[in-house]
Homo-oligomer: A and B are copies of this chain.
Amino acid sequence: MTESAEPIPPRRLLMGPGPVDADPRVLRAMAMPLLGQFDPAFTAAMTETMALYRGVFQTANRWTFLVDGTARAGIEAVLVSVLEPGDRMLVPIFGRFGHLLCEIGRRVGATVDAIETEWGGVFLPEAIEDAIRRVRPKLLACVHGDTSTTMAQPLAEIGAICRRHDVLLYVDATATLGGVDLPVDAWSIDACTAGLQKCLSGPPGSAPLTLNDRLADRIARRRHIEQGLRDPDAPAGDGPVIASNYFDLAMLMEYWSDKRLNHHTEATTMLYAARECARIALAEGLDRRFARHRRTSEALVAGLAAMGLRVFGDAAHKMANVTGVHIPAGVDGEAVRHDLLTQFGIEIGTSFGPLHGKIWRIGTMGYTSTRECVAMCLVALDAVLRRRGYGAPPNAGLDAALAVYAGA
């Protein structure tokens, strides 16, 4: 076989539900040479990454580190490490990713109860508290922003409710971390996980995670050291063994501690990426970053409305980084997505389950949460729709979006 030309991805503007365009500084960081996992320069990079994610998660939690896998690896690591077979878990489902939490919970042997609301809505705190009273779960697992519906569940009061009922609170912030406010400590969240490929503008493949001591202590009690590493005379660990080696947070904590007890080989390049994502977010400042996401969302919504398009779901609880748009009657939604991709290189998202064929989803997050990206997306969508027979007043979308940025 002779060596063929290096594969180059086609030019794209990624404005779907994620991954979105990586920040070029993150791409640059991933081209850096590797280091050995116990090289002092690399263990220093691990320690630095922990500190940076404490900033991003707004927490003082010692146990703030990465799981080597995509966002759902972080979810599974928390659930398999916290839940023992037969433990009760309660999940408020308001979209696809609530179902995923249930699915993973059942796989690890938990007894799962759920409350559900229609896609496009969220829960009142009282509804969650009522369900807690009824179910008496060990763990409440809740998605923050569910990209499948574009809704963000208000969480400010949920931590206090959980403490009142002695329930642990886990939040899946895959789609919101770094773009929507989520103060882990102030909101009394016991565990939170995320991914890089949404508001942090990195590639999928690393899952930042934070655990408070109340939860970490419970997990540490289930610690079992691998044979082949363990002193033969040392105890093997207490409590039911965690049913995964890869996702065993008790072992992962030892690996990320000063002990550096060998577990997996940390994914060097993904750590460089995760570190750079956090550096960029903190250099901008979280408050400025959240405000940028809100402003971009307002501009996009104003533009879509001016084009006569209807935004999906409960406007008061829409995520600032994903916007659902009803596909207008008579328009073939997939044909429009195809035109945007092939004529402009712009990707917007389709949808799942009950919303399939009914809405598009437009992502404005991290590096794509900007005036320029909104402007490009609106004029391209306007042009494609016009060619497909849906005519909005020319330039109306762009004018409305720019007016938001102009403060008009």
Contacts and interface: CB of A to CB of B under 8 A. Distances in A.
Interface of A: 1-4, 6-12, 14, 16, 18-22, 25, 27-37, 39, 41-42, 45, 48, 55, 68-73, 76, 80, 95-100, 102-104, 106-109, 148, 195, 197, 203-205, 226-229, 241-248, 262, 264-270, 272-273, 275-276, 279, 282-283, 285, 341, 347, 352-353
A28 B31 contact: yes
Contact of A269 (B4, B36, B102, B203): B203
Contact of A9 (B35, B226, B270): B35
Contacts of A27: 30-33
Of A108, A246, A279, chain B has the most CB atoms within 10 Å of the CB of A246
Contacts of A103: 226-228, 245
Main secondary structure of the interface of A (DSSP, over half): loop
A227 B354 CA distance: 12
A99 B228 contact: yes
A279 B9 contact: no
Contacts of A267: 69-70, 203-205, 270
B1 A285 contact: yes
Nearest to A263: B72
Given A10-B35, A68-B73, 10 more contacts: A9-B42, A10-B41, A11-B33, A16-B36, A19-B34, A68-B205, A73-B246, A76-B244, A106-B241, A228-B353
